[in-house]
Chain A
Amino acid sequence: MSNNFRLESGEGINQTEKISFKFNGKTLLGYKGDSLASALLANGIHLIGRSFKYHRPRGILSSGSEEPNALVQIIKDKDKAKTDPNVRATQIEICEGLEAQSQNCWPNVKFDIGEINSIFSSILSAGFYYKTFMWPSKLWGKYEYFIRKSAGLGKSPTEKDPDKYDHKYYHCDVLIVGGGPAGITAALIAAKSGKKILLVDEKPEFGENLLSSSKENIKINDLSPTEWIKDKCKELSNFKNIKILNRTTVSAYHNYNYLIMMQNLTDHLSENEKKEKIRQRLWKVRAKKVILATGSIERPLVFDGNDRPGIMLSSAVKKYLNFYGVKCGNKIVIFTNNDSAYETAIELHNKNSKVQAIVDIREESSGDLPKKCNELGLKIYWKHTIVSSSGHAKVKNVSVMKLSKDNSVVIGKKINIKCDSVAMSGGWTPAVHLFTQSGGKLDFNNQNFCFYPKKTKQSQISIGSCNGTFKLADIINESNQKTSEFINQNVENKNKISEPKEGDLENIWLLPSNKALGKTKSFIDFQNDVTAKDIKLALREGYKSIEHVKRYTTTGMATDQGKIANMHALGIVAETTNTKMGDLGTTTFRPPYTPLTFGAIVGRNVNQFFDIIRRTPIHSWHKKNNAKFEDVGQWKRAWYYPVDNESMFDAVQRESKAARTKAGILDASTLGKIDIQGSDASEFLNRVYTNAWNKLAIAKCRYGLMLNDDGMVYDDGVTTRLNENHYIMTTTTGGAATVMSKLEDFLQTEWPELKVYLTSVTDHFATVSVCGPHSKKILEKVTENIDYSDQNFPHMSFKEGSINKIKCRVMRISFTGELSYEINIQANYGQSVWEKCMDAGKEYGITPYGTEAMHLLRAEKGFIITGQETDGTITPIDLQMDWIVSKKKYDFIGKRSLYRSDTAREDRKHYVGLLTKDPNEILEEGAQIVAEVKNRPPMDMIGHITSSYYSPNLNKSIALAVVKNGKKLKGKKLFVPMANKTIEVTVSDPVFLDKEGTRLNA
């Protein structure tokens, strides 16, 4: 174990518990409590991966969720197909058996072919992606292959995710996001109020930053920060009204204090410990009040070569040192523009990491810590900057020069300083992501050079450093005061805090260099490889708005959403365009704050729970009898029943033939059924259908067309009058729910005076439809107490009877054009009735047919299917169904629209039949129709094919279509141009078979 970077102790790790894990195939050791990043650093590993565009070697920059560089691929169950890509090494806790790999490098992290991009960086500059598309398009196909192979982030898993995920809804009075000093102080006050409190933090431990801060410099009530935070956490755990969640990240903050959070439950556990447990839980929280205490993110400094492995954020270096007990280097250079990095310097010095030098861009600082560093004999270069760095896989050397008075250029001699790590601090950026997601507006603070929350839109406050308050005493004081006010619970702040006095920060967004800008690589967005010169180039090319600069350069568009990059991009744009930061505005932060797994998003809605499946009561019979199924909405409908390896075409031909020559049986249970009752039921139907309903006799059935108020056909079906004030309406399978809603809408809002009650009974009845010349004989055998004579039971009428003493309704209605009966019976008897019909029909050759044969049979008869022949632009007149539109009724839904100038137009698309010149040629549904064929497109399209079949009963191909002015084109020749041929067709009547309807009484 090359553990030479490990110290004797660290606040966050347990050195008695060793853990072995693998990185790039090599077995390494770490301790319980280590993050993958800290464990790698302890093993002296800085080089983690390659950058996205230039494939530059990259290391660990930070210690938290803002990490842009150290993305790794996690292997699950030792199986490369089950894997998690793009996981931040700083956020994953090591556990026994963890296996991680570098990504974005090929063939390996130390030698990467893509690095050649770095040499060609001049052509990979701002707008690379846009400019690339302007290369000769012929060549693009060639480039794409190589670009895709060497670019991109991790690899997606190729196998099903083996883990379980969960969703949870939660309501609380106060949600506190963030468990640092501000959040903990707020939580204690809130807990005392007795309200229902939820406190969450993305880290495994609360107050991690305090746990890694200096034990000497800061005292809270004579306690060290570590002791204080542990004390407070203990106090909190005594309250019953507070729920505390660690490893939980709020990823989205929506309107009305609706927040989505993801809790990581098992990623830190070994394979054995996590067995059968839920991996992640997505929380959907509604909070009456929200307290944001999300902290702040340290900014890097922008200088040439600031991306080399070993160059890290100063706060991260301190955290690895004190919290994880890991030295990031033995010879460290501190580079800063503020006092906070001096604490890192002192801690490093105290723990025997050599501080080579402190480079500070400021003239001086009045703070206590720089003074202390001086006393410790640490070398400070005031008013200096790093101008470049060197070292391939890790930083080896930095060059330092003096800044001119106005900071615009560097002057004097270059000083070279040897080092194996750089701890840099460019100041602090409040984590306002959730605040802005919630609709809050920001303001710019010219002293700390940061955006902070100005005005919130929700019942919410921001406290602590996410609010731009950075001193510990101020943070705790602010938390105390604002929380007390916010939740009406007055608690006095008794904390006495002593902390070092701080000097002012000085900010330079882009540090000057001794090289021309074009020769530097000063990274702003580490993950998307955007440099300062890219931003400048975009501005030179005319992009002014920050939103445009962002998209053109891709700054802040990587998976870290610019947590590190955004401020510098804004700063450089503001400086270059001479705009005030506050006036420039910021780009919009969008959810998620950190990436979510798809597993957490879908939760338990996988496999059979992904989309609801509805099955008819006769489903198992269809399955047993080899039916192929078709999805109709959520329903599984029997499509056709192939016999002995029959093709679909052959099966449908056989089924369709049998239905007309012998007997066919169809499961029609999916049709929507609405029970309509009330003294105004007839009047109601009069208003919703185009035809008249008040004269329909009891026990008779009638077909109805339903329009929208724009006059277009919406749904159709047969409605039966069961009694004076009682009807049963059928709708199309797909339209059942929307028709029900539409009818309820009209009853509740337009016609509240009508006494009508609607009940959806689709699932309550099974519907068995038997058709064909033998259907009557079969029904006579199956049902009791029904006289099937034509006088007693004519077409379009209804009888009540029974089957084995179970009441049933029988309608004599037909969608096939054959003599046909529909048995409706309580759903749970559906299958036995179906089987009874099969038995009774055996001697007559009864044949089950599916939806495909049903569609074919009705097409032979020219019956429409709404949604197939109609598409929301077709009126009943277009369908040549004038007969169903009542002239006498004063009003019905859609009536007035039928004579608007556009709907009354003569040359609309009309519903027609088409016959192909070659009777064996079957047209393609959806194909376009033209009157005149040209050598090549465009041609004037005058309509399209809506349905097309080969009719086994007519022995020819038939098709239905909508064609412009079709009513007047009967007998005319038209053409259907296809990819490799043109098909000639003749316009015909849409009714191909039995126009007189004699078969209905066969």
Chain B
Amino acid sequence: MFIIKCPYCGERDHSEFSYGGEAHINRPKKPTELTDDQWAEYLFMRKNIKGIHYERWNHSHGCRRWFNMARDTSKDKIHSVYKIGEKPPV
């Protein structure tokens, strides 16, 4: 159970947030120009990283804003949180 620092609200309990999967997977701007394989890459393929993982979180029982988190999966520790659109740290 983390304490998560929402970039908009500050530190809040884990139970106020929901997880949204791997971050920095942009929806292709021109899907129709992609092959099946390329589209499948976007749609289905996700990393399973040991170490720093970039992931999406939503303050669903708070401000309802989405943001990103860099989390060390091997230690289950939050490295940092940052806003959507910002460059990932590290």
Contact between A741 and B43 (Cβ–Cβ < 8 Å)? no
Given known A-B contacts A897-B39, A900-B36, A748 and B31 have beta carbons under 8 A apart: no
Contact between A255 and B31 (Cβ–Cβ < 8 Å)? no
| Closest residue of B by beta carbon distance from A896 | B31
- Across the interface, B27 reaches (CB within 8 A) one of A750, A752, A890, namely A750
- A793 on the interface (CB 8 Å rule)? no
| CA–CA, A130 and B3, complex, Å | 43
- A888-917 contact mask (Cβ, 8 Å, vs B): 1 or 0: 001100011100110000000000000000
- Across the interface, B84 reaches (CB within 8 A) one of A286, A749, A897, namely A749
| CA–CA, A36 and B16, complex, Å | 43
- B9 on the interface (CB 8 Å rule)? no
User: Measured between C-beta atoms, what is the minimum distance from B25 to chain A in Å?
Assistant: 10
Contact between A891 and B58 (Cβ–Cβ < 8 Å)? no
| Closest residue of B by beta carbon distance from A895 | B31
Query: Most chain-A Cβ atoms within 10 A of its Cβ — which of B31, B65, B66?
Result: B31
| Closest residue of A by beta carbon distance from B2 | A256
Contact between B43 and A710 (Cβ–Cβ < 8 Å)? yes
User: Measured between C-beta atoms, what is the minimum distance from A890 to chain B in Å?
Assistant: 7
Given known A-B contacts A745-B66, A749-B66, A897 and B43 have beta carbons under 8 A apart: yes
| CA–CA, A256 and B72, complex, Å | 13
- A709 on the interface (CB 8 Å rule)? yes
| CA–CA, A286 and B13, complex, Å | 9
| CA–CA, A749 and B85, complex, Å | 8
| CA–CA, A77 and B36, complex, Å | 69
Give the residues from 715 to 762 in chain A that come closer than 8 angstroms, CB to CB, to chain B: 741, 744-745, 748-750, 752
Query: Most chain-B Cβ atoms within 10 A of its Cβ — which of A745, A895, A901?
Result: A745
| CA–CA, A254 and B3, complex, Å | 12
- A575-596 contact mask (Cβ, 8 Å, vs B): 1 or 0: 0000000000000000000000
Given known A-B contacts A895-B31, A896-B31, A744 and B64 have beta carbons under 8 A apart: yes
Interface residues on B, range: 20 to 34
Given known A-B contacts A286-B3, A745-B20, A255 and B76 have beta carbons under 8 A apart: yes
- Across the interface, B40 reaches (CB within 8 A) one of A748, A890, A900, namely A900
- Across the interface, A896 reaches (CB within 8 A) one of B13, B14, B39, B75, namely B39
Contact between B31 and A749 (Cβ–Cβ < 8 Å)? no
Q: Which residues of B contact A891 (CB under 8 A)?
A: 30-32
Q: Which residues of A contact B64 (CB under 8 A)?
A: 744
Give the residues from 935 to 983 in chain A that come closer than 8 angstroms, CB to CB, to chain B: none
User: Measured between C-beta atoms, what is the minimum distance from B32 to chain A in Å?
Assistant: 6
| CA–CA, A371 and B58, complex, Å | 68
Give the residues from 692 to 717 in chain A that come closer than 8 angstroms, CB to CB, to chain B: 709-710
Contact between B36 and A741 (Cβ–Cβ < 8 Å)? no
- A258 on the interface (CB 8 Å rule)? yes
User: Measured between C-beta atoms, what is the minimum distance from B23 to chain A in Å?
Assistant: 9
- Across the interface, A709 reaches (CB within 8 A) one of B1, B20, B27, namely B27
Contact between A741 and B60 (Cβ–Cβ < 8 Å)? yes
Q: Which residues of B contact A890 (CB under 8 A)?
A: 32
Q: Which residues of B contact A745 (CB under 8 A)?
A: 20, 58, 66
| CA–CA, A900 and B38, complex, Å | 11
- A251-286 contact mask (Cβ, 8 Å, vs B): 1 or 0: 000111010000000000000000000000000001
Contact between B39 and A900 (Cβ–Cβ < 8 Å)? yes
Given known A-B contacts A744-B64, A748-B84, A896 and B76 have beta carbons under 8 A apart: no
User: Measured between C-beta atoms, what is the minimum distance from B52 to chain A in Å?
Assistant: 17
Q: Which residues of A contact B1 (CB under 8 A)?
A: 254-256, 258
Given known A-B contacts A744-B64, A896-B32, A752 and B84 have beta carbons under 8 A apart: yes
| Closest residue of A by beta carbon distance from B84 | A749
| Closest residue of B by beta carbon distance from A745 | B66
Q: Which residues of B contact A897 (CB under 8 A)?
A: 39, 43
- A78 on the interface (CB 8 Å rule)? no
| Closest residue of A by beta carbon distance from B85 | A752
Give the residues from 11 to 57 in chain B that come closer than 8 angstroms, CB to CB, to chain A: 13-14, 20, 26-28, 30-32, 34, 36, 39-40, 43, 56
Contact between B60 and A896 (Cβ–Cβ < 8 Å)? no
| CA–CA, A890 and B76, complex, Å | 42
| CA–CA, A960 and B78, complex, Å | 49
Give the residues from 65 to 90 in chain B that come closer than 8 angstroms, CB to CB, to chain A: 65-66, 75-76, 84-85
| CA–CA, A460 and B3, complex, Å | 16
| CA–CA, A254 and B32, complex, Å | 47
- A457 on the interface (CB 8 Å rule)? yes
Contact between B34 and A896 (Cβ–Cβ < 8 Å)? yes
- Across the interface, A749 reaches (CB within 8 A) one of B28, B34, B56, namely B56
User: Measured between C-beta atoms, what is the minimum distance from B85 to chain A in Å?
Assistant: 7
Q: Which residues of B contact A741 (CB under 8 A)?
A: 58, 60
| Closest residue of A by beta carbon distance from B60 | A741
Q: Which residues of B contact A709 (CB under 8 A)?
A: 27, 43
| Closest residue of A by beta carbon distance from B78 | A256
User: Measured between C-beta atoms, what is the minimum distance from A99 to chain B in Å?
Assistant: 39
| Closest residue of B by beta carbon distance from A740 | B64
Contact between A901 and B66 (Cβ–Cβ < 8 Å)? no
| Closest residue of A by beta carbon distance from B11 | A286
User: Measured between C-beta atoms, what is the minimum distance from B10 to chain A in Å?
Assistant: 14
Between A and B, 20 residue pairs with Cβ closer than 8 Å are A256-B1, A256-B14, A258-B1, A709-B43, A745-B20, A745-B66, A748-B65, A749-B56, A749-B66, A749-B84, A750-B27, A752-B85, A891-B30, A891-B31, A895-B32, A897-B39, A897-B43, A900-B36, A900-B39, A900-B40
With A749-B56, A891-B31 known, 19 other A-B pairs at CB within 8 A are A256-B2, A258-B1, A709-B27, A710-B43, A741-B60, A744-B66, A748-B65, A748-B84, A750-B26, A750-B27, A752-B84, A890-B32, A891-B30, A896-B32, A896-B39, A897-B39, A897-B43, A900-B36, A900-B39
Q: Which 10 residue pairs of A and B lie closest in terms of their CB atoms, listed nearest first? A: A896-B31, A258-B1, A748-B66, A254-B1, A750-B27, A896-B39, A900-B36, A256-B3, A749-B66, A256-B2
